[in-house]
Amino acid sequence: MNEEQPISEQPNETFNQEQEPNIVTPVEPEVSLVPPIVQQTNAITPPISTSTKTSQPLATDIKVFAAISYLSILFIIPWITKKDHPFVAFHLKQGIGLFIAEVIVWFCLWLIESFLTTLFSYRAIGLVVVLNKFAWLAFGLISVIGFYFAIKGITKKIPYLEIITKNLKL
């Protein structure tokens, strides 16, 4: 038996009048962001420098005075003699900041030692001795790093010293 579908069940293909007909737009040519290959010439181009060294070669005495800035109280020598040179002034600010940080830490350790000695007699001095050794090690390492940068002619900020040095005026 061949059954015919009623007219209401047949698929209804009607055009929705709200739809817009497809509009064909012209395709733009592809643009390449890579420049075309240029034939090499025999001209020699200088290499690009990515160093953080200063642009002009520095005299040895300038580097030495900048390096002396990191040796605790000896920052006074470059401060008196060469503070007008920008390279020495940069390292001098960091050396003064390091010296101020050393004084603050040593004073705090002295207060802790005095308090613990008064409170617990001599039993707690071992803790202060360990803290003193860590402070000497930290400040010695920072001084060596600053000394190295100064001798190499590099102006690089030492982290956390910027808190102290940003407001220093020479």
Would residue 51 count as lying in a domain? no
Helical packing angle, 86-120 and 125-152, nearest 10°: 180
Domain that holds residue 150: 60-164
Using DSSP's 3-state secondary structure scheme, residue 118 falls into helix
In a domain, residue 126? The reply is: yes
Per-residue pLDDT of the chain (170 residues), as tens digits, is 555 555 555 555 555 555 555 666 666 666 555 555 555 544 454 443 333 555 567 888 899 999 999 998 999 999 999 888 999 999 999 999 999 999 999 999 999 888 888 887 776 778 888 899 999 999 999 999 999 999 999 998 888 888 888 888 87
In this prediction, residue 26 carries a pLDDT of: 60
The number of distinct structural domains making up the chain is 1
Residues 6+ apart with CB under 8 A from 17: none
Overall pTM > 0.95: no
**Predicted pLDDT of residue 82:** 85
∠159-55-74 over CA atoms, to 5°? 50
- Do residues 153 and 53 make contact, with C-beta atoms less than 8 angstroms apart? yes
Residue 140 placed within a domain: yes
Kindly state whether residue 81 falls inside one of the protein's structural domains: yes
Residue 19 lies in a domain: no
Flag whether 46 is in a domain: no
Cα 51 to chain centroid distance, Å, stands at 15
pLDDT at 50: 34
Task: Give domain status of residue 89, yes or no.
Answer: yes
Residue 38 falls inside a structural domain: no
